[in-house]
Amino acid sequence: MSRLDGTGSEKRLPQETHTDKALQLQCLLLLSEVYRWRKKLSETVTGYIDHVIFRNEDNGYTVMVLKGMEEERELTCVGTFPAITQGAAIEASGNYTTHPVYGKQFQIASYVEKMPEDALAMERYLGSGAIKGIGAALAARIVRRFGDDTMRIVEEEPERLAEIKGISEKKAMEIAEQMTEKADMRRAMIFLQKYGISLNLGAKIYQKYGQTVYGVLQENPYRLAEDISGVGFRIADEIASRIGIHTDSDYRIRSGMLYTLLQASGEGHIYLPKEELFSRASGLLGVDSSYMEKTSHGYGSRPETDPERNRRRCSCLSHTILLS
């Protein structure tokens, strides 16, 4: 291929070689691969839970249909959740997948339940059975009476619900109490998810501690290893690290020593000499053994108010520890 240059002479243009074509093809393939991996990254969808197709109450595995998204009429979502409220609005994070039989699905990794933002969403939420004692007909009457102000009435002036036929003052206060409990749990779950705690584990933690969960995690997250089934030292230590607990925290060292003793007990030992305990715990925790010496002097000196935790701790210490 050629063209004329400025002097009128013919100038040959460089020919496209097989190498150039191969390079272009590689670039296209690379771009395609980048796009495919970007699609695999976590995405977010927002909608309301229209209905549940399947739920295993033993492990929380759920298949449900989400509606109200801008992009799609409805979306099948799957995941493992501690509880599901039909009619609730959620913001879910996860990935799109394709099931060989059921087609496109959204695999939810985490979600946040959102409070209804308008009268229609409020009626759908109240009529879903989320609040005991309110069915679809009563939900419609409440929203017809208060409109977009329904949420404020429930939260700030719940006694006014008694203006609705079929709601006594007692029932009005019960409705308000349920709404408050759900709002408290929703805030707690958001707080726990900030530290990478899964929905199922978060539900267990909240069930144990309730509104004291904030103080427990920020002061001594190692209590989780003693109080929550399925949480060991390593999980508690990971959570503590995210929260910002120092590596030489007394709580961490005590918990690490207890974990070391439990491990030794599992190996068949009935006690550990002090030096070996300190050496093992030092390796586990990554701190000098002098911290074990300092911490062990006060261990068990403070009374334990939880009888079950006290029983487990005393049982472990009496059978596995020798500090002298």
Chain segment 122-140, per-residue pLDDT in tens: 888 888 877 888 888 999 9
DSSP secondary structure code for residue 321 in this structure: B
Position 12 scores a pLDDT of: 54
Position 231, amino acid: V
CA distance 205 to 243: 15
Position 302 scores a pLDDT of: 45
Least confident of 20-24, 72-76, 202-206: 20-24
pLDDT digits (tens, 9 = 90+) for 66-105: 988 766 688 999 998 877 778 888 889 899 999 898 899 9
Q: Taking 80 as the threshold, does the pLDDT of residue 38 lie above it?
A: no
Q: Which has the higher per-residue pLDDT, 248 or 318?
A: 248
Position 141 scores a pLDDT of: 93
Q: Taking 50 as the threshold, does the pLDDT of residue 39 lie above it?
A: no
Position 107 scores a pLDDT of: 93
Position 312 scores a pLDDT of: 47
Instruction: Indicate the pLDDT class of residue 212, thresholds 50, 70 and 90.
Output: very high
Q: Which has the higher per-residue pLDDT, 182 or 208?
A: 208
Position 35 scores a pLDDT of: 44
Q: Which has the higher per-residue pLDDT, 85 or 188?
A: 188
Q: Which has the higher per-residue pLDDT, 2 or 236?
A: 236
Least confident of 35-49, 202-216, 242-256: 35-49
Which residues does 21 contact at the CB level (< 8 Å), separation at least 6?
none
CA distance 297 to 320: 17
Q: Is residue 241 within 8 Å of 197, Cβ to Cβ?
A: no
pLDDT digits (tens, 9 = 90+) for 95-107: 999 989 889 999 9
The closest alpha carbon to 295, from 304, 282, 284, 306, belongs to: 282
pTM, entire model: 0.63
Instruction: Indicate the pLDDT class of residue 37, thresholds 50, 70 and 90.
Output: very low
Least confident of 23-32, 75-84, 102-111, 154-163: 23-32
| Tokens describing residue 123 | 């009626």
Instruction: Indicate the pLDDT class of residue 33, thresholds 50, 70 and 90.
Output: low
Q: Which has the higher per-residue pLDDT, 241 or 113?
A: 241
Q: Radius of gyration (Cα) for the chain, nearest Å?
A: 30
| Tokens describing residue 187 | 């805030």
Q: Taking 60 as the threshold, does the pLDDT of residue 313 lie above it?
A: no
| Tokens describing residue 154 | 């429930």
Q: Residue with structure tokens 């009435």?
A: 153
Q: Taking 50 as the threshold, does the pLDDT of residue 301 lie above it?
A: no
Question: How far from the centroid of its chain's Cα atoms is residue 193's Cα?
Answer: 4
β-strands 61-67, 74-80 pairing: antiparallel
Long-range pairs for 220-228: beta carbons < 8 A, 24 or more residues apart: 220/251, 221/245, 221/251, 222/251, 222/252, 222/254, 222/255, 223/309, 225/255, 225/258, 225/259, 226/255, 226/258, 226/309, 226/312, 226/313, 227/306, 227/309, 228/201, 228/204
Q: Apex CA 49: angle with CA 48 and CA 52, to 5°?
A: 170
